[in-house]
A and B are shown apart, each in its own frame.
Chain A
Amino acid sequence: MGAQLRVYKRRIRSVTATKKITKAMEMIAASRVVKAQRKVAASTPYATELTRAVTAVGTGSNTKHPLTTQAETVVRSAVLLLTSDRGLAGAFNSNAIKAAEQLTARLEAEGKQVDTYIVGRRGLAHYNFRERKVVESWSGFTDEPTYADAKKVAGPLIEAIEKETADGGVDELHIVYTEFVSMMTQTAIDSRLLPLSLEEVAKEAAPKGEILPLYDFEPSAEDVLDALLPRYVESRIYNALLQSAASKHAATRRAMKSATDNAGELITTLSRLANAARQAEITQEISEIVGGSAALADATAGSDR
């Protein structure tokens, strides 16, 4: 076998092995998307009921709460960025990071200080490499977040917002995550989580102008609101974590699918080249034999004369 042909054969073998791996990763990601979507669906009843309850307290009483009060001048904002722990997901992480950076730039242009909180190793690595300050970060659960993880993330954030600005507290909380629109579309979005605008929550809960009954609060409206709002924030963060996980798996699936397709194309091209090389080798051998025998025949014919 010629040297050229051997090189082609070796490359085909290596690309075939890679293709098998990416194909397997694609299938795993596909099954995980379905699982993640199911988790999003399973968390919906709790979120809807909670939204309803928040609306009920918000409309049924005039209670003031640190989580719903807009600061007169916003000095410091917190940005929570949700990324994944692992890469191989196309532009998933870079899109989320880009969205966070745009938001940070916008807030800084408005004269606010920005505290960054990060979920996921990828985002943290990006910030550490650029030596930017990260207040707190969490990782290790981005593939399958649980409610306990959301609580862990929400705890310090709620604490920061309840603290006075002068003591290092923040006035508002923004969250940047990747929304799962469909299997093919995931968009990185940012939204302001706190302070909570009760009007907006109400719009979300009863879009058809449904009138909520007058509730009896047990023990009191203030206490209910006190207990309710942190849970609401947790549930919103939980939802964002789940959507981000589903998006990550969908992005991985897509990236791995195109990797598999590309590997297939590469194999076709390489096989064609290998075939051509083999054919060229055969042709050369034949022409060598023919040439050799012709020379031999000429030589014998010459000696006869």
Chain B
Amino acid sequence: MAAELHVALVAADREVWSGEATLVVARTTSGDIGVMPGHQPLLGVLESGPVTIRTSDGGTVVAAVHGGFISFADNKLSLLAEIAELSDEIDVQRAERELERAKAEGDAAAERRADVRIRAAATR
């Protein structure tokens, strides 16, 4: 059996996803980081971006995560985010509307959030 790590993706008001995985890729402020089982203890600040979780049964879970932290110790990985959505929860039309609105208003943070949502939704 391949080594596994336990992943918990939690948003401020709910647990979004939890389960076993073999690889987790997330975007920290200093670049993308991939965590596999047995990684050294890590605590990092996340950027707004998609998080890819390769589950142990071969599937892939993609979530749009906006701000938060990644922490890994004892083969347990927690992704803490203020807002987190799984790719199949994302309302693409709404995100596109948001994107247009953000572009029109020149709101860079909102534009980035909408962009991350659309890209995460595109992978499903």
How far in angstroms is the closest Cβ of chain B from A150?
Answer: 8
- How many residues of A are counted as interface, with CB atoms below 8 angstroms from the partner's CB atoms? 31
Is A212 on the interface with B (CB-CB < 8 A)? yes
Contact residues in B for A223 (Cβ distance below 8 Å):
29, 45
Contact residues in A for B69 (Cβ distance below 8 Å):
50, 53, 224, 227-228, 231
Tell me if A49 and B73 are in contact (CB < 8 A): no
CA distance A169 to B6 in the complex (A): 43
Contact residues in B for A235 (Cβ distance below 8 Å):
12
Query: How many pairs of residues, A versus B, come closer than 8 Å at their CB atoms?
Result: 88
Query: What is the interface of chain B mostly: helix, strand, loop, or mixed?
Result: strand
Is B42 on the interface with A (CB-CB < 8 A)? yes
Contact residues in A for B30 (Cβ distance below 8 Å):
218-219
CA distance A56 to B74 in the complex (A): 13
Tell me if B14 and A49 are in contact (CB < 8 A): no
Contact residues in B for A56 (Cβ distance below 8 Å):
43, 71, 73
Contact residues in B for A217 (Cβ distance below 8 Å):
42-44
Interface size class of B (residues with CB under 8 A): 20 to 34
Is B40 on the interface with A (CB-CB < 8 A)? yes
How far in angstroms is the closest Cβ of chain A from B69?
Answer: 6
Contact residues in B for A43 (Cβ distance below 8 Å):
12-14
In the complex formed, the residue of A with least CB distance to B42 is: A216
Contact residues in A for B82 (Cβ distance below 8 Å):
147, 151, 231
CA distance A228 to B73 in the complex (A): 17
Contact residues in B for A46 (Cβ distance below 8 Å):
10-13, 80
Tell me if A218 and B41 are in contact (CB < 8 A): no
6 contacts between A and B (CB under 8 A): A43-B12, A46-B13, A53-B80, A56-B73, A147-B12, A231-B69
